[in-house]
């Protein structure tokens, strides 16, 4: 309403500002890759429901819907796209925490014949690329390092003892990923404060580097009706346009990226997929 205030982005935001790279070509940094290892989000199973009747269709191990099998559930006519989106909306992801890596990724056979333990690969890649260990990483981000294993694990003494035994009781050796997954979470957070610092930095950098969000964010580029469409549309609107049958489910949903309400018979399903 009142235009941009000052030269910075703190008061007025990034859209409509000027593109800037801070004299460094845009890139996805090693820090960003390292804290974005979120394989814990992947559940062991997915429960599928009918989006209109809420009937439970089937519960499928995650390995049954990956790689070449990704299309099978839809190809055989058992499920529709709206069934799939509704099911994803009411299934919980895995928590981003220690001891919660999906089993199938620790014994993964890829289509090209490789056999991998992704949990091990994640740690080895950081070490090979010279990413600092957890405490040194925090120091370089001007954050306090963990002084004890107990402090790192939020007072969980059993976990602290296990982590200490793995690292020979040397807190300087804790890998970045392990440290992030052990951290007690700030209230309302789904992942560690350490990871959040990198995310907010990288998200800002991505937006500032995109001329269609920074420099060209104006009616001349998008038209007035185009800008209104962008500003007034949410993911909820996008889903409703493509799958009208989901409008009833999404009616009272404020944020389509949060869990959706379970309608009718879906609320009677007792599996951990929609309840844990």
Check whether 24 has a pLDDT greater than 90: no
Check: CB of residue 183 under 8 Å from CB of residue 154.
yes
- Strand, coil or helix: 58: strand
Tell me, what's the pLDDT at 4? Answer: 83
Rounded to whole angstroms, how far apart are CA atoms 166 and 147?
17
Tell me the average pLDDT of the chain.
92
CA–CA separation, 149 and 234 (whole Å): 43
- How confident is the model at residue 28, as a pLDDT? 85
- Active site members: 36
Q: Are 176 and 126 in contact (CB under 8 A)?
A: yes
pLDDT for 267 = 92
Q: What is the percent of the chain where pLDDT is above 70?
A: 100
Query: Number of C-alpha atoms within 13 angstroms, CB side, residue 238?
Result: 10
DSSP state of 157: H
Structure tokens that stand for 178 in this block: 């392990």
pLDDT at 189 > cutoff 90 = yes
pLDDT in tens, 100-132: 999 999 999 988 999 999 999 999 999 999 999
Q: Which residue has the higher pLDDT, 148 or 72?
A: 148
Strand, coil or helix: what is 116? Answer: strand
CA distances from 269 to 32, 62, 78 (A): 38, 18, 19
3-state secondary structure of 127: helix
Reply yes or no on whether the pLDDT at 174 is more than 80: yes
Higher pLDDT, 73 or 86: 86
Backbone angles phi, psi at 49, to 5 degrees: -130, 160
Mean pLDDT in residue range 169-180: 97
d(CA 67, CA 60): 14
Global pTM exceeds 0.85: yes
């Amino acid at each position: 309403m009142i235009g941009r205030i000052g030269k910075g982005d703190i008061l007025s935001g990034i859209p409509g500002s000027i593109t800037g790279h801070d004299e460094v070509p845009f890139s996805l940094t090693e820090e960003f890759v390292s804290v974005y290892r979120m394989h814990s989000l992947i559940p062991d199973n997915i429960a599928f429901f009918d989006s209109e009747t809420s009937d439970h269709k089937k519960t499928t191990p995650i390995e049954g819907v990956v790689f070449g099998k990704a299309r099978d559930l839809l190809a055989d006519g058992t499920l529709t796209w709206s069934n799939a989106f509704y099911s994803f909306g009411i299934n919980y992801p895995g928590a981003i925490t220690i001891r919660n890596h999906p089993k199938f990724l620790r014994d993964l056979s890829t289509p090209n014949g490789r056999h991998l333990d992704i949990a091990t690969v994640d740690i080895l890649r950081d070490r090979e690329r010279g990413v600092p260990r957890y405490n040194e990483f925090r120091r370089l981000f001007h954050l306090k390092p963990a002084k004890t294993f107990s402090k790192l694990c939020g007072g969980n003494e059993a976990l602290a003892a296990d982590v200490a035994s793995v690292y020979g009781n040397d807190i300087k050796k804790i890998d970045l990923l392990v440290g992030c997954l052990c951290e007690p979470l700030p209230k309302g957070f789904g992942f560690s404060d350490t990871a959040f610092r990198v995310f907010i930095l990288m998200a800002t950098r991505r937006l500032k580097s995109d001329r269609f969000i920074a420099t060209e964010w104006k009616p001349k580029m998008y038209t007035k009706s185009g800008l209104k469409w962008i500003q007034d549309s949410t993911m909820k609107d996008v889903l409703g346009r493509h799958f009208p049958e989901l409008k009833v489910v999404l009616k009272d949903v404020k944020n389509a990226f949060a869990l959706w309400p379970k309608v009718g018979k879906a609320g009677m399903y007792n599996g951990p997929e929609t309840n844990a």
